[in-house]
Amino acid sequence: MISGAILGLVGNYWIETRRWKREDRIRYHEDRYRTYTDFYKAASDFSSKLWLDVVDEGPDFVEEDHRQLVLKLMNLKPHIEMVASTPVREVARQITYQIERAAVDGPTSINEEAGYANVIGKLSNEFAEAARKELGMAVINSHKT
């Protein structure tokens, strides 16, 4: 009788420990997904605003918009550094490097601005692919021919 109670306690402990670990993995996965999505959206918005500026199709990329997107990306970067796999971290570093270059050097011509927009846009797509792969989601190569 006592051995049955002990066996029941051990079994219950084992089941609960597995459940807690599974819940932690799910929560961790959701946190990474949210962080990656926020970073990807901010990088894509940055690239899109640069492109709209280049083709004069949208409102000017005002300094406040620029500052907000750069701050958002820079605030997300440490989170990515902590939780991302090496491929995701590397692309995120490349994106932030290009954005820092654009912020410090500042494009002096439409061609330079278009160049920054193009590079950041391509890197954003690479980031999305690496993040999808890490998260176990289908990788969509829609921008490739």
Is 47 within a domain?
yes
DSSP state of 17: H
Is 145 within a domain?
no
Is 118 within a domain?
yes
Long-range contacts at 107-111 (CB < 8 A, ≥ 24 apart): 110/54
Is 14 within a domain?
no
- 79: containing domain: 31-135
Overall number of domains in the chain: 1
**Chain segment 97-138, per-residue pLDDT in tens:** 998 887 777 666 778 888 888 999 999 999 999 999 998 887
Is 41 within a domain?
yes
Q: Is the model more confident about 93 or about 13?
A: 93
Is 73 within a domain?
yes
**Chain segment 11-38, per-residue pLDDT in tens:** 776 776 676 666 555 555 788 899 999 9
Return the closest-CA partner of residue 94 out of 136, 138, 130, 55: 130
Is 57 within a domain?
yes
Is 123 within a domain?
yes
Return the closest-CA partner of residue 77 out of 136, 127, 29, 26: 127
